[in-house]
Structure 1
Amino acid sequence: MLRKLAVTAAAGLVATGMATAPASAAPSPTAPVAPTVSAARCHSHKVHQHWECITPGSYCPKAAHLKYGYAYKTGKRYRCVRYTNGQWRWKRG
């Protein structure tokens, strides 16, 4: 029983590549670098009767239904409308 468990564990290590992969593999110099995300990313928030920092096409909160908002990248005006499928999203308008 103990031998069977050891063989199963060893097979699992080989299958996952843990037995042959080094602990710390350095990325190749030609590998693409992922863009960094700013820590101060804009989130939608209410300002008086409109919303700011909205993402067009994304879901809008219940408090924003039928209200206007402005996109954080373009500054264009969007409205939180209900689609035929019942979802509320920011739509250009």
Structure 2
Amino acid sequence: MVVKHKNIFKTEGTWSDARKLLLKLDTGSWRTERPVLDREKCNYCGLCALYCPPQCLLDRGDRYEPNLDFCKGCGICAKECPRGAFGMVPEGEFIDEG
């Protein structure tokens, strides 16, 4: 038996509208690991930013920093960095201040 919802193919906006909405959503609240940057190892090559999901890294002009409001904890930045500048640390080891 196949069940289809009546609105499954209904679209109310363009893809760019959906992308704008997705970029505004706070998606960092469910991660289990957090990327931590060792600034001495980072040479600002940009590989982390190239492969990391949109909005997850902030370009600081001399380094890329995790944007923890959007970071999903996937570890792509750590896997792609040839210098090992990002390390993944369990979220439970941090205390949020604020």
Decide: shared fold, TM above 0.5: no
> Which has the larger share of helix?
2
TM tier, shorter chain?
Answer: under 0.3
Q: Rg larger in 1 or in 2?
A: 1
Tell which has more relative contact order, 1 or 2 (C-alpha 8 A, sep 6+): 2
